[in-house]
Structure 1
């Protein structure tokens, strides 16, 4: 077993939990980004999505003691421990889970115990994709890719539709490296609604960045990139 294979085996259980969330009803809300980003900046105008007759505002959040920042809908909140235990019934559940008010859309993060160099991430992502295809009830494989987001962070993206309890689920995994450690981010929603929510998922991935810790919260002073 080679070096990367050992990491794949150790992460298999985490991936299973990260991609098996319960789902419920979700109203159709075709989201549309109202402003485009330029040069990776994230001005106030760029953090608003129009949802039918309402507006979905995004706001900054941080994880890992303020070392990773990102934008998600302001209406999303940390999932209560009791709900997380039911939705991810395993010790490998994600460390940070944010959910919509209805509990039907989830964004989560799971820092792992695997350490890699940045140039190893692409091969690692492809091996992870192979694992997912072998263990998940895939309905539609949407592919994997590497990209560099607006903050210059190298990210591996894996997307697929899998069978869920009440219907097919859209899953998008983002794998990136923070202080040498692999972190797995996940976005999930019902397949029927995923096209409406793709702009939010895209903004979330593009907003991921490594931060310089600040004594102020991200909501008060904003995110300070390194």
Structure 2
């Protein structure tokens, strides 16, 4: 038995005891194993751990799911298109950690005003890898089901990284801990360039 097989069995056994593994070892969820790998975006400015088999959402599907022309530039999705990780580096916006709370609260208020039927839950700022991320979660209404959304913002190379992780609301208890792990895995590679 090789190391990968041992990790798969370990993840499956954790699932049976109520634990689901983590993004480093793999997560066994609803009888499916999700392996994660570090991927770089925006010419290597940042990297993040994402499910290895998630693909770029096709443009037509992205236009339907995110109808605004300001839709996220990067949308990684599963085969069904109902679990999504989005990333948008706003390179025209100068952004530092001291602006995180204000930006997060501003996004929260805009969404609350534009979509008053949404139900809002936790909202907070957290330190990750020597920077600050602000995030909040809410339930919105899709065409055929309720959607769980976790929206976040943080500085990357002095610019604003903004994104959303979402899934069916019925799966939110399973996916929220994974979304938080993925968010906390975001690394600002521009800091390494500055330190070099």
Compute the displacement of 1:213 (Å). 10
Q: Is the 8 A contact 2:157 2:188 kept in 1?
A: no
Shift in alpha-carbon separation, 1:54–1:84, aligned structure 2, 3 A: closer
Shift in alpha-carbon separation, 1:161–1:55, aligned structure 2, 3 A: same
Q: Is the 8 A contact 1:78 1:97 kept in 2?
A: yes
Compute the displacement of 1:212 (Å). 5.4
Which residue, 56, 76, 90 being the options, matches 2:34?
56
Aligned to 1:3: none
Provide the TM-score with structure 1 as the length reference: 0.71
Q: Is the 8 A contact 1:33 1:199 kept in 2?
A: no
Structure 1 unaligned regions, length at least 5: 1-28, 36-41, 215-224
Q: Is the 8 A contact 1:67 1:213 kept in 2?
A: no
Aligned to 2:7: none
Q: CA RMSD for the aligned pairs? A: 2.6
- 2:133 matched to 1:146? no
- 2:33 matched to 1:33? no
Aligned residues: 178
The alignment partner of 1:148 has SS state of: strand
Structure 2 unaligned regions, length at least 5: 1-14
Compute the displacement of 1:82 (Å). 2.5
Matches within 5 A, 1:1-226: 32-34=19-21, 46-112=24-90, 113-149=92-128, 151-211=129-189
Q: Is the 8 A contact 1:47 1:59 kept in 2?
A: no
* Larger RCO, structure (CA 8 Å, separation 6 or more): 1
**What are the Cα deviations for residues 153-206 of structure 1, in whole angstroms up to 9, with x where unaligned?**
310001111111111111101100112211111101111111111222011111
Aligned to 1:8: none
Provide the TM-score with structure 2 as the length reference: 0.81
Higher strand share: 2
The alignment partner of 2:35 has SS state of: strand
